[in-house]
Structure 1
Amino acid sequence: MMNASSPKKSEHVSTYNTLPDHVIEEHILTRLAVKPLLRFKCVSSGWLSMISSTKFAKKHFELWFPSHDQNLIVQEDRETEEEDKYLLSFDENYNLNEYTKLMNKYPTVRFNTLNTRVVGSCNGLLCVYNQDIMRMYVWNPVTNHCRDIFVPMARGKWDDYQLRCIGFGYVSSIDDYKIGCLMVHNKTLIILVFSLKTGFWIQKPKIDLYYELLLTFEYENPAFVGDTLYWIPQHLNEDENYIIGLDLVEEDMVIIPLFGRIPGDWVIAKLFRMEGCLALCLIQNYTDNEKSICHVWKMKEHGDEEDRVSWQKVLSLNYIGTDFNYLFETGKCLVSQLSYQSHRLILHELSKVSSSKPEQEQEQERQKPPDEGTIVWESVDRGSLFNYFLGGTFGYSESLISPLGENED
């Protein structure tokens, strides 16, 4: 029998201090990749609530994105019954370390990905469009959150409506993600803008003049800069050429005439965002020696002045390649080089333009030896990657941002 006066066994007292939740959140969790964070939701109800919050998703993306923006999503430009979207992931030195089908990387049952195409990418969200059923999806591939959106139409047949331009972007001043569309119906141009915050479309018919202009545009890839979506016809004519913009704040069109007369041998035009500005790439192809020249022009806005917009030529590249694929924010670019033996993806660094006179500069560029660049991917399968760049290329970065508003599971 135990003596009542016997000393009790001493209890173990932990000498470790627990870090405060705000320190764990601000200095540890916000600096982790997305996939570990999704697993850490299971740690406790407190961590689930914290990691699922919109505040945490925004903070995490602000810290994570600047150094992890070298992912691209590419897709074919032709109809296919198979998966036609691929993810390309580059390391900090732009070496290709992953090339895989998008659905293998991010499988989803939220919607049928066949017969769809990516029309926009922003802050880890993809805007995907199914033309057959006039339906859009705003989808976070890594969390698999998806917003299902119907395109509004008046009474009539679907064939009577044509979506010529589609884009997607985030308007920071009002903390809202918006889809912007330019639709043609009965020779009338209709502006469509969908707000993820309100869940509603706005519709604005425009005059017939814009309808004629929009007929030169068809499924062009947008560039989103300064709250505005921009599109340009891929092939320019020798007369007047215009960039069409859709201001997602004012929800109205912006028409920007291009500088002067475009020479006939500048056959391809593409728009990108570079260093926070709208960048116009004009690509000139020479069939005699397979050489191409790309000049990059940066747009500058001048407030309320009469000439609100000016263009400055900033970069150029003399290269051998089949297609100018993508211009990164940093000024680096990807070019496809296709031959009978193989297909290569080559990384180039564009050079600053010289101070030569314009008429002298074009001939000087043509005489220069082409930049060799760095091969980041090569395959003996001739068509394996080339076709996908033709259907559009979008930058992509994983995030916790939800298209449903406050992040949900």
Structure 2
Amino acid sequence: MKNHSLPLELIEEILLRLPVRSILRFKCVCKSWFSLISEPQFAVSHYDLAATPTHRLLLRSDYYFYAQSIDTDTPLNMHPTTVNLLLPPPSPPRDPGPSNFNHYYDSRFQPEILGSCRGFLLLYYITRREIILWNPSIGLHKRITDVAYRNITNEFLFGFGYDPSTDDYLLILVSTFFITPPEVGLHVFSFKTCSWKEYYPSLSYDDCGNKCRAGSLLNGALHWLVFSRDKKRHVIIAIDLIQMILFEIPLLDSLISEKYLIDCLRVIGGCLGVCCWVQEREVTEIWVMKEYKVQSSWTKSFVIPNYDEYIHFSPICITKDGGIFGSNNGGKFLKLNKEGEWLEELLYGHYEWSYCHNLQSALYRESLLLIPGVIGETSEDDDQK
């Protein structure tokens, strides 16, 4: 009888081009497949070679002890494409008494989402002073305890990114104060060394509110919408994650006027985009920088009527059919078509009353990646201090 099995090298080439979920199922085929797929280099190669990466949206609410992962390119309330994921918990209290046990599951102990990068989500437990690097696709996480900066989301602009030159994941904190310039402008935490570095004696920028505190990752840099004290206008600042160089990206001059109220900065369809409230017309406009760093390439891409459902609409991503997915100031998650017209809305937890309770979201790419130098040879429950 002839042996029709394929060479392992050819099997590897096929597996490298399959979606993450299919590959995880194929780990059960045989020992050789399990060993191959479990290799860290296989995960890196799969990330680099993926022809059509799969992106999903993670939603987290204070009123649930799990997060929902959804495919924004399918009907939002389609149960087969929605996955419930248990959030990595904070470290147990030192005194595991009954009262502390209840606090452990209190909504105040739910994590803030600081950002996503290369399939990882960065979570922050304020009450435990902990940050957790989590790959929801493979269920592994790493906890970093005793973080020096206690109020990351209230006192800093923050961002999460990756430095390919050192194969290291970075947490970036930018100090902004309205009155006194800070002694240190930029704080950088390395997940490889579990240590902080500081750059820049001071920065002359003010933040633009909670919607602009989270950095937008694009082209190896993190971006924030800020108000320049020197120029007396809104600008985009960016931090190059390899060289740690700070630079500015100008908005279109016409956007810096009383006509526009700039609401937030996002990455829209692989470009920087700003969402603006046009006061005289009562519409929301989304402007996209088609060519990176080129001021003249800012283009109006969406005009959204401000009906009750759309007031202060904040975009999250472009869908495959050219529509747009985002949220409004009431906490509803909406999918609109190319013309900005309502298509459907998401019912978080599949219950109508629950979608507006402090929902947080993050778009992430499914990946098999492990954390270099941290997760590869340690269990997901080990602490790194």
Distance 1:248 1:52, change over 3 A: same
Q: 2:361 aligned with 1:385, yes or no?
A: no
SS at match of 1:55: helix
Select 1:147's aligned residue among 138, 142, 146. Answer: 142
SS at match of 1:400: coil
Q: 2:297 aligned with 1:283, yes or no?
A: no
Q: 2:189 aligned with 1:194, yes or no?
A: yes
Distance 1:173 1:141, change over 3 A: same
Give the counterpart letter for 2:325 in structure 1.
L
Give the counterpart letter for 2:9 in structure 1.
H
The 5 Å alignment of 1:3-402 reads 14-27=1-14, 29-64=15-50, 66-69=52-55, 71-75=56-60, 80=62, 82-83=64-65, 85-91=67-73, 94-98=74-78, 104-106=84-86, 108-109=88-89, 114-150=109-145, 153=148, 158=150, 163-172=155-164, 174-183=166-175, 187-207=182-202, 209-210=203-204, 213-218=205-210, 220-232=213-225, 240-260=233-253, 262-284=256-278, 292-298=283-289, 300-301=291-292, 309-319=295-305, 320=307, 321-329=310-318, 332-336=323-327, 345-349=334-338, 371-375=340-344, 377=346, 383-388=353-358, 391=360, 393-402=361-370
Instruction: Kindly state the Cα deviation for residue 129 of structure 1 after the two structures are TM-superposed.
Output: 1.3
Counterpart contact for 1:72–1:87, Cα < 8 Å = yes
Structure 2 gap segments, 5+ residues each? 92-103, 380-385
Distance 1:310 1:296, change over 3 A: same
Counterpart contact for 1:89–1:97, Cα < 8 Å = no
Deviation string 1:14-33 (CA, Å, 9 cap, x unpaired) is 32232111111111x22444
Deviation string 1:237-264 (CA, Å, 9 cap, x unpaired) is x951122322211124333443436333
Distance 1:395 1:253, change over 3 A: same
Give the counterpart letter for 1:384 in structure 2.
S
Distance in 1 (CA, whole Å) between partners of 2:134 and 2:54 is 19
TM-score (norm 2): 0.73
Give the counterpart letter for 1:283 in structure 2.
W
Distance in 1 (CA, whole Å) between partners of 2:47 and 2:40 is 11
Counterpart contact for 2:302–2:338, Cα < 8 Å = no
Distance in 2 (CA, whole Å) between partners of 1:189 and 1:84 is 37
Counterpart contact for 2:288–2:298, Cα < 8 Å = yes
| RMSD (CA atoms) | 4.0
SS at match of 1:293: strand
SS at match of 1:349: coil
Distance 1:259 1:58, change over 3 A: same
Instruction: Kindly state the Cα deviation for residue 401 of structure 1 after the two structures are TM-superposed.
Output: 0.9
SS at match of 2:128: coil
SS at match of 1:147: strand
SS at match of 1:49: helix
Distance 1:184 1:162, change over 3 A: farther
Counterpart contact for 1:162–1:183, Cα < 8 Å = no
Counterpart contact for 1:273–1:329, Cα < 8 Å = no
Identity of aligned residues (%): 24
Deviation string 1:316-375 (CA, Å, 9 cap, x unpaired) is 323331342324256531255799xxx67232215xxxxxxxxxxxxxxxxxxxx43422
Instruction: Kindly state the Cα deviation for residue 61 of structure 1 after the two structures are TM-superposed.
Output: 3.0
Distance 1:299 1:164, change over 3 A: farther
Distance 1:173 1:284, change over 3 A: farther
Deviation string 1:269-324 (CA, Å, 9 cap, x unpaired) is 2222234332222233679xxx523131316456xxxxx75552241323331342
Distance 1:166 1:269, change over 3 A: same
Give the counterpart letter for 2:156 in structure 1.
R
Distance 1:138 1:84, change over 3 A: same
Distance 1:110 1:39, change over 3 A: farther
Give the counterpart letter for 1:179 in structure 2.
L
SS at match of 1:232: strand
Give the counterpart letter for 2:265 in structure 1.
L
TM-score (norm 1): 0.69
Deviation string 1:31-52 (CA, Å, 9 cap, x unpaired) is 4443453354455553333212
SS at match of 2:13: helix
Distance 1:37 1:300, change over 3 A: closer
Distance in 2 (CA, whole Å) between partners of 1:52 and 1:313 is 44
Give the counterpart letter for 1:147 in structure 2.
K
1:361 alignment partner in structure 2: none
Distance 1:381 1:284, change over 3 A: farther
Deviation string 1:208-267 (CA, Å, 9 cap, x unpaired) is x53xx2454556232111111111259xxx951122322211124333443436333533
Give the counterpart letter for 1:56 in structure 2.
F
